[in-house]
Chains A and B, each alone.
Chain A
Amino acid sequence: MLIPALFLFIIAAGTLLLLTSVIAAHFFRYGVQKDKSRVIALVFVAGSILFLSVSSVLFFSIPWNDLLELISAPHFSL
Chain B
Amino acid sequence: MIALHPNERILSVNRKVWYVFAAAYSIGVGLMLLPLIIVPTIGALFPVIRETPSLINILFLASTLWMWCIWVWLFLSFAAYYLDIFVVTNERVVHIEQKNLFNRVIAEVRLSRIQDITITIAGLFPTMLHYGDIRIQTAAEVSEFAFTQVTRPERLKELIMQEHRHAVAEESTLGRKSVIS
How many positions in chain B have a CB within 8 Å of any CB in the partner chain?
A: 33
Q: Does B29 contact A (CB under 8 A)?
A: no
- Assuming A26-B83, A58-B61, is B72 touching A48 (CB within 8 A)? yes
Q: Once the chains bind, are A63 and B54 in contact (CB under 8 Å)?
A: yes
Q: Once the chains bind, are B2 and A16 in contact (CB under 8 Å)?
A: no
Q: Could you tell me the distance in whole angstroms from the C-beta of A16 to the nearest C-beta in chain B? A: 5
Q: How large is the interface on A (under 10, 10 to 19, 20 to 34, 35 or more residues)?
A: 35 or more
Q: Could you tell me the distance in whole angstroms from the C-beta of B45 to the nearest C-beta in chain A? A: 9
Q: Could you tell me the distance in whole angstroms from the C-beta of B64 to the nearest C-beta in chain A? A: 4
- Assuming A30-B104, A67-B54, is B64 touching A54 (CB within 8 A)? yes
Q: Does B128 contact A (CB under 8 A)?
A: no
Q: Once the chains bind, are B54 and A26 in contact (CB under 8 Å)?
A: no
Bound complex: CA A43 to CA B60 (Å)? 23
A44-72 contact mask (Cβ, 8 Å, vs B): 1 or 0 = 10011001101100110111001100100
Q: Could you tell me the distance in whole angstroms from the C-beta of A27 to the nearest C-beta in chain B? A: 7
Bound complex: CA A55 to CA B4 (Å)? 43
| Chain A interface mostly | helix
Residue ID in chain B nearest A18 by CB atoms: B72
Q: Once the chains bind, are A31 and B48 in contact (CB under 8 Å)?
A: no
- Assuming A26-B79, A26-B83, A27-B83, is B48 touching A47 (CB within 8 A)? no
Q: Could you tell me the distance in whole angstroms from the C-beta of B68 to the nearest C-beta in chain A? A: 4
Bound complex: CA A23 to CA B79 (Å)? 7
Q: Once the chains bind, are A62 and B48 in contact (CB under 8 Å)?
A: no
Q: Could you tell me the distance in whole angstroms from the C-beta of B16 to the nearest C-beta in chain A? A: 14
Given contacts A44-B75, A62-B57, 10 further A-B contacts (CB under 8 A): A26-B79, A27-B83, A30-B83, A40-B75, A40-B82, A48-B72, A52-B68, A62-B58, A63-B54, A77-B48
Binding site for A on B (CB under 8 A): 1-2, 4, 10, 13, 46, 48-49, 52, 54, 57-58, 60-61, 64-65, 67-69, 71-72, 75-76, 78-79, 82-83, 85, 87, 96, 98, 101, 104
